[in-house]
Amino acid sequence: MRYIGKETSRVDGVAKVTGKARYVAEFPVKNPAYGFIVTSEIAKGSIKSINTEMAMKAAGVLKVYTHQNATKSQAKGNAYTALQSPKIAFSNQPIALVVAETYEQARYAASLVKAEYNKEKPQTDTLEANKVATNKVTRRTPNTRGNTQTGLTNSDVKIEAEYTIPIEHHNPMEMHGAIAFWEGDKLMMFDKSQGVYGVRGHLAQSFGIPAENVKVVSLFVGGAFGASLKPNYYPFMTAMAARDLKRPVKINYTRRQMFQGHGYRPFTYQKIQMGATKDGKLQAVVHESVGNTASYENFQENSSGFGRTLYKVPNYDSKYNLVKTDLPTPVWMRAPGAVSGAFAIESAIDELAYKLKIDPLEMRKINYAEKDPETGKPYSSKELMKCFDVGAKTFGWKKRKLEPRSNKDGNWLVGMGCGIGTWGAWQAPAGAKVTLRADGTVHIGSATADIGPGTYTTMTMIASEFLGIKPNQVKFELGKTEFPRAPSQGGSITTASVGSAIYGASMNIRKKLFDMALKIENSPFIERRVEDTELMNGMLRLKNDSSKSVSVAELLKKNNMTEIVETYQAMPSKERANYTTMGHGIQFAEVKVDEDLGIVKVTKVIEATACGRVINPLTAHSQEMGGMIWGIGMALHEHTEIDHRYGRMMTTNFADYHIPSNADVGYINTEFVEEEDKIVNPLGVKGMGELCLVGAPAAIANAIFNATGKRIRDLPITPDKLI
C-alpha cells in the first residue's frame, strides 16, 4: 500500500485554518434577511395568545411568523415541526420566528414577542414519570437468552446495582445554521448537516414538492456528534420565510440555543444483576434500562442491548423501558446507547471482580467471547484479546494493586481501572461518481459528509491507492445533493460505505481500461486477467512485471475519450450475514483523587483498539483521543441540569455546562491492533469514531473505586459524591 495506512495530513487542513473552507452560515448570498427564533417559556400547555405587534414595529423587522400565519407543513411522522399549532410540548419550543434586515434587529425584536399560555404541569423527571404506567413503553428486544433465574441461582457471587446517567448535550463548535432561497419553485438550502439527502427529503415532503426541486449543500461541518443527524426544525422555518419574503433568509443559533435546539443523550437509569461462579465465569446478566423520550415521538437507544454480544454469558435478559416526558426528543449522541450501557455493564463486572478478588482484566479474559454469544456466529475479526495485552503493557497495568486505597501519592489516592467498548462495524448502501481524466487527474463526488473525522482525506487516499495517482491529483467533493446518494455520516459507517463505493468504482475503471488495452495491437495483457494488473502513475501495468504497461492517456486517446466516468453503488455483501462484524477496544484509566476534597484528576488514559484496517493513522489517532477526552467529560463533568418545577433545562451555556479542557487531560495515548478482515467490506475497515468513547467512563469510574474504595454509580462523578 502506498497511501493507505500512512499518516496523512488533512487535505482540507489549509482551507480550514485560512478560513477558505465555507461553513454554512458563511455562504455569500445577495441581500439576506436574518431570522431569530422565539421560544416557549413553559414546558407544557398551549399558547393562549401571542402578541407580535411590538416586534413588528421594531426597526428593520420584515415579518413575524407564529402558528397563526406560518406555512402548514406536509411532513409526515411524529418529528416536531415548528409553528404548526398552539400546543406546547417542551420548554423552549419555538413559538415565533422574527425576520429582520439584520441579525441584531431580529434578535432584539424577538425579545418583544409576548405570549400568554394555558399552563399545564410538566413532568420531566424520568424516574417520576416511570412510576406512571401510562407513560411507559416497554420494549424487550430481543428475547431472553437462556434462563436468568437459573443462572443467578447457580452463581456463587452476585451483585445488584443501579446506575444513572444524566441528560448530556452535544456541544460542537459550529452552531446550527441555515441559509435558504428560492428560484421559482426550486429551493436552495445550505444547512449544517450530517446528511444532505435526509434534509432534502424532509424539505421536499414539508413543502409538498418533488425532491429534485430541492438542492442541499453542506460542505464543512464544525462538529456534530449526532446533533445534526436528523433534519432539525430550523431548515423548514428558514425555507418557509425565504419563500414568503422572496429573498434569502439566514438563521444561525446562539450557543444557548444549541442546548435547546436539538436532541441530547437521554437520561438513563440502569439496574444490573450479575452473577458468576467462584472461578469468575459469568452465569447470568439481567440488565434493565429506563430511558426518557418526548411526549410526541419515541426515540430510543439500545443501552441495555449493548452487553449481549460482549461476554460469554449463557443467560441474559435486557429490558428497555421508554418513558414519555415533557422534554424535547432525545437523539443520538456519540456512541448512543453503547456508552450508557457500557458504563453500567463495565462497572458491574468490575464490582463482581472485586467481590471475587479476581483482577478485573483477568475477569474479562475469563469471560471472553470467541464467538458471538447471542447468535453463535463467528466474528469476522476480533483482536480484543490482543488489545488487552497491548493496552495493559502500554498502560502499566501490572503496577496496579487490587486492594482499594492501597496506592498513595502524597495526599492523592491513586487508582487504575479499565473498561471494554464495542461498536458495530456496519456498512450502508453508498454511491460515488468517479471521473478519471486523460490528464491524470480524478474527480470524485459523493453526498456524504465530513463532520470532523477526516473523510475528505481518507476518501482521497483510497482513490489515490486504487487509481495509482498522487493525492494532489484527486479532488474529492461531498455534501451536495447533486452527487450520488450516500448515508448520513453517523454510526461510524462512512469509510466502510463510501470508501467501498470509491474502491468499487476504481476497480470498474481498471476493468474498462483493461478491456481497451486487450484490443490494442501486441497487447501486453494477452492471456492475463484484470486482477493481475494495477493502475500506477498514469499506466495500467502488470503487478508482477511493471515493464508490461500501457499508458492510460493513450488508451483514452485511441478510443476518442477524454475521461472515464464511473458511478458505483456499493452494497454490503451477502457474506457479512454469516458473521458478526464489530470493532472492539479497551480503555485504561489512572486517576488521582484528593482524599480530603474529592477532586479527581485523570492522570493517564490509554486505549487499544481493533477496528480492522486503519486508513489514516493520523486522523484516526485524533478521533480516538477525542473520544477518550469525551469519556473524561462524561465521567466527571457533563450534566444538563433540569429544573423539574418548570421542565426547563438550566445549564445552557459553557459556564454552567462543564466539559473537559486541556488541563483536565493528563497523559493520553491510543494504539491500534490492526485486523485483516476480508468479510466486513472490501477495504477491511471498521468504524472507530464512537468506539473510543464506549469503555472510557466506566474505566474512570472503576479507577476511582480502585483509588478510594467508593463506588459511584451516578454520573458525573463530582467531588461532592466522593467526600
423 interacts with ligand MOS by CB under 6 A: no
Binding range to ligand MOS, per CB under 6 A, among 225-233, 262-270, 420-428, 525-533: 225-233
Binding range to ligand MOS, per CB under 6 A, among 223-231, 239-247, 402-410, 609-617: 223-231
Which of the following is catalytic: 638, 671, 675, 690? 690
**From 45, 177, 336, 454, residue interacting with ligand MOS (rule: CB under 6 A):** 336
195 interacts with ligand MOS by CB under 6 A: no
Per-residue exposure over 46-71, b if at least 16 CB sit within 10 Å of its own CB, e if not = bbeebebeebeebebbbbbbbbeebb
* Minimum separation from the CB atom of position 369 to ligand MOS (A): 24
421 interacts with ligand MOS by CB under 6 A: no
Nearer of residues 96 and 430 to ligand MOS, judged by Cβ: 430
230 interacts with ligand MOS by CB under 6 A: no
Contacts of 571-579 with C-beta under 8 Å, sequence gap 24+, read 571/429, 572/426, 572/427, 572/428, 572/429, 572/681, 573/679, 573/681, 575/679, 576/380, 576/427, 576/679, 576/680, 578/377, 578/378, 578/679, 579/377, 579/378, 579/379, 579/380, 579/679, 579/680
**From 108, 181, 311, 332, residue interacting with ligand MOS (rule: CB under 6 A):** 332
Nearer of residues 336 and 391 to ligand MOS, judged by Cβ: 336
**Chain centroid to CA 228: how far?**
10
Backbone angles phi, psi at 577, to 5 degrees: -65, -20
**From 200, 334, 433, 686, residue interacting with ligand MOS (rule: CB under 6 A):** 334
Whole-angstrom distance, CA of residue 279 vs CA of residue 281 = 6
* Minimum separation from the CB atom of position 335 to ligand MOS (A): 7
Please, which of residues 555-614 interact with ligand MOS by CB under 6 A? none
* Minimum separation from the CB atom of position 332 to ligand MOS (A): 4
DSSP 368-394: B-SB-TTT-PBBS---HHHHHHHHHHH
Query: In terms of Cα–Cα distance, which of 720, 722, 712, 719 is closest to 165?
Result: 712
* Minimum separation from the CB atom of position 711 to ligand MOS (A): 28
Binding range to ligand MOS, per CB under 6 A, among 1-9, 120-128, 150-158, 332-340: 332-340
490 interacts with ligand MOS by CB under 6 A: yes
Binding range to ligand MOS, per CB under 6 A, among 133-141, 331-339, 409-417, 609-617: 331-339
Q: Are 431 and 469 in contact (CB under 8 A)?
A: no
338 interacts with ligand MOS by CB under 6 A: no
Nearer of residues 264 and 332 to ligand MOS, judged by Cβ: 332
Whole-angstrom distance, CA of residue 640 vs CA of residue 658 = 9
Nearer of residues 92 and 194 to ligand MOS, judged by Cβ: 194
Q: Is 690 one of the catalytic residues?
A: yes
Binding range to ligand MOS, per CB under 6 A, among 127-135, 221-229, 230-238, 633-641: 221-229
Per-residue exposure over 337-346, b if at least 16 CB sit within 10 Å of its own CB, e if not = bbbbbbbbbb
225 interacts with ligand MOS by CB under 6 A: yes
517 interacts with ligand MOS by CB under 6 A: no
Measuring CA to CA, how many Å separate 672 from each of 342, 570, 608?
A: 21, 27, 6
For ligand MOS, which residue has the nearest CB? Answer: 226
Q: Which helix (H) or strand (E) holds 511?
A: helix 494-519
Q: Which helix (H) or strand (E) holds 198?
A: helix 196-207
486 interacts with ligand MOS by CB under 6 A: no
**Chain centroid to CA 77: how far?**
23
Query: In terms of Cα–Cα distance, which of 583, 657, 129 is closest to 384?
Result: 583
Residue type, 266: P
| 489 CB burial (10 A radius; 0-12, 13-18, 19+) | buried
Nearer of residues 172 and 716 to ligand MOS, judged by Cβ: 172
**From 94, 431, 491, 504, residue interacting with ligand MOS (rule: CB under 6 A):** 491
* Minimum separation from the CB atom of position 488 to ligand MOS (A): 8
**From 24, 203, 333, 540, residue interacting with ligand MOS (rule: CB under 6 A):** 333
Instruction: Locate 610 and state its grid cell.
Output: 481493533
The contact pattern for ligand MOS, residues 277-316, with x = CB under 6 A and - = no contact, is ----------------------------------------
Count of residues interacting with ligand MOS (CB under 6 A): 10
- Strand pairing class (249-252; 214-217): unpaired
* Minimum separation from the CB atom of position 648 to ligand MOS (A): 25
Helical segments of 299-383, H only: 338-356, 360-366
- Strand pairing class (539-542; 549-551): antiparallel
* Minimum separation from the CB atom of position 493 to ligand MOS (A): 8
Q: Which helix (H) or strand (E) holds 287?
A: strand 282-293
**From 32, 94, 166, 226, residue interacting with ligand MOS (rule: CB under 6 A):** 226
What are the helix and strand counts (H, E) for the chain? 18, 29
229 interacts with ligand MOS by CB under 6 A: yes
* Minimum separation from the CB atom of position 378 to ligand MOS (A): 26
Query: In terms of Cα–Cα distance, which of 209, 141, 131, 223 is closest to 174?
Result: 223
503 interacts with ligand MOS by CB under 6 A: no
Residue ranges binding ligand MOS (CB under 6 A): 194, 225-226, 229, 332-334, 336, 490-491
**Residues known to be catalytic:** 690
